[in-house]
Amino acid sequence: MLDERREPEGVEPQGDVEPPQGGVEGPARVAEEAGPEAAGTVSPEEVATLREELERYRQEAERNWQQFLHAAADLENYKKAAARMQRDAVERTRRQVLLVVLSAVDDLERAIGYAERGANHELVASVLEGLRMTHRSLLEQLRSLGVERMEAAGERFDPARHEAVEVASAEEAGVEPGTVLGVIQHGYVLDGRVLRPARVRVAQ
């Protein structure tokens, strides 16, 4: 006869074991109950540190921007100064070349003066006409470059435009003292500015 197995008294029959009511607690619930630090939030100390770093970077960016603006201004000033120096150099060279040409004009005028003394000779008259044509051509070329001859005779002496190389009696000349009586060497202006002062005889 088979023995019947009996469960111990006081023990309920065991079937499928059900989990406790409410289920198994997951990591999210554990982290939530653990507090904000465990959930990945930033502490006030870290926020303050981040703000300090942000302010430092902002100030550094502002300094870099100001340095850039200063460098750009310096570059622009350098460009202007270089352009001005270039213009001045060109102007100096231009004036020097024109002064050389004016020296040739002076020589030509002296040659014309000598030739006029013997203009009654046919050969001399022919040479004189050639000199005059060359002289007129040179003056026209200079005029096209902005060079004009001064008219000094009869004007008041102006140290900025005239250079006194001879003096004469104003009373004998019948003019006011300081009047330009004659021109020894013509003066010229370039674009309205004195290129070479006129060498003159002045009443005194």
Domains and CATH numbers, the chain: 147-204 (2.30.22.10)
pTM, two decimals, is 0.57
Whether residue 81 has pLDDT greater than 50: yes
Whether residue 129 has pLDDT greater than 90: no
How far apart, in whole angstroms, are the C-alpha atoms of residue 153 and residue 167? 13
Helices (H), the chain: 27-34, 44-117, 122-144, 170-173
| Closest to 149 measured CA to CA, from 131, 134, 164, 161 | 161
With cut-offs at 50, 70 and 90, classify the pLDDT of residue 30. very low
Name the residue with higher pLDDT: 151 or 39: 151
Average pLDDT over residues 84-101: 89
How far apart, in whole angstroms, are the C-alpha atoms of residue 181 and residue 198? 12
